[in-house]
């Protein structure tokens, strides 16, 4: 039996449907952030020729994951696909394959009915063609009102905060304000408005696959009050039941926000 078919029998479907039925729609998170991890390990464990096969399987899983979110009523999903660190440190051959796979994913998502795609990250550090595909996907879907999909590509949380502060300073100086005045009136809300995700709600739930338990520079500012859920499954092996368990766990938590 293949890994793809494991756990997909009648009992699995029965359990999945039971989990879904017992979820209160009011308890479903508005914004879910997903850190897809373990694609390379998945490819190695299966004896596949290149990491690209794992990344391609991970991309297919993310399309499936977005469908689960849309079906459950999640309104915003952020996918961490390529970090600024990846661009500097990954093997050039693997990186070229990954860039091609991300471009294909962005193009495919922009063709989904009423989904809105937004690039979250720095376009200036991306290959020209990938930046163009992401911009086209965003433009093509800008008026869509369905599931909002953030694609974090060329993304780094620290860089995002720096870029937000730079944007605030530039805007303030253009209006004739002084640095002393800006320092006196700078607020967390002001910085939040200038992030790549400005105007969006912060993630309620951050999920990471492959058993790793770290943020890896993803949505550092936005996840200050997020709930976290770590799944042991490698990215391509993520099942709908794993996702539903994450939502159930989130719904059972008491979010106090410092109260």
Question: What are the residue numbers of the active site?
Answer: 37, 86
Q: Enumerate the H helices of 25-117 as residue ranges.
A: 39-45, 51-72, 84-89, 92-109
Pick from 55, 212, 85: which is nearest to 157 by CA?
Answer: 85
Task: Tally Cβ neighbours within 10 Å of residue 85.
Answer: 13
- Contact status, residue 205 vs residue 223, Cβ threshold 8 Å: no
Which among 254, 120, 252, 103 is positioned nearest to 199, based on CA atoms?
A: 120
Residue 238, both tokens: 């993520």
Chain centroid offset of residue 192 CA: 18
């Amino acid at each position: 039996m293949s890994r793809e078919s494991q756990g997909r029998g009648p009992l699995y479907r029965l359990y999945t449907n039971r989990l879904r039925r017992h979820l209160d729609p009011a308890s479903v998170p508005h914004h879910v952030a997903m850190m897809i991890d373990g694609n390379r390990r998945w490819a190695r464990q299966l004896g596949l020729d290149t990491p690209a096969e794992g990344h391609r399987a991970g991309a297919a899983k993310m399309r499936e994951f977005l469908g689960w979110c849309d079906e459950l009523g999640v309104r915003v999903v952020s996918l961490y696909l390529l970090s600024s660190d990846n661009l500097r440190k990954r093997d050039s051959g693997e990186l070229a394959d990954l860039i091609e796979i991300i471009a294909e994913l962005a193009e495919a998502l922009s063709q989904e009915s009423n989904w809105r795609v937004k690039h979250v990250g720095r376009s200036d550090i991306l290959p020209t063609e990938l930046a163009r595909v992401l911009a086209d996907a965003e433009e093509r879907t800008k008026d869509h009102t369905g599931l909002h999909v953030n694609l974090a590509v060329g993304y780094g949380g620290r860089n995002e905060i720096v870029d937000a502060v730079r944007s605030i300073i530039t805007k303030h100086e253009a209006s004739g304000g002084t640095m002393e005045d800006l320092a006196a009136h700078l607020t967390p809300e002001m910085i939040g408005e200038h992030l790549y995700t400005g105007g969006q709600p912060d993630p309620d739930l951050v999920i990471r696959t492959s058993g790793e338990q770290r943020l890896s520079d993803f949505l550092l500012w936005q996840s200050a009050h997020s709930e976290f859920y770590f799944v042991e499954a490698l990215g391509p092996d993520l099942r709908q039941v794993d996702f539903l368990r994450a939502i159930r766990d989130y719904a059972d938590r008491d979010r106090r926000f410092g109260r």
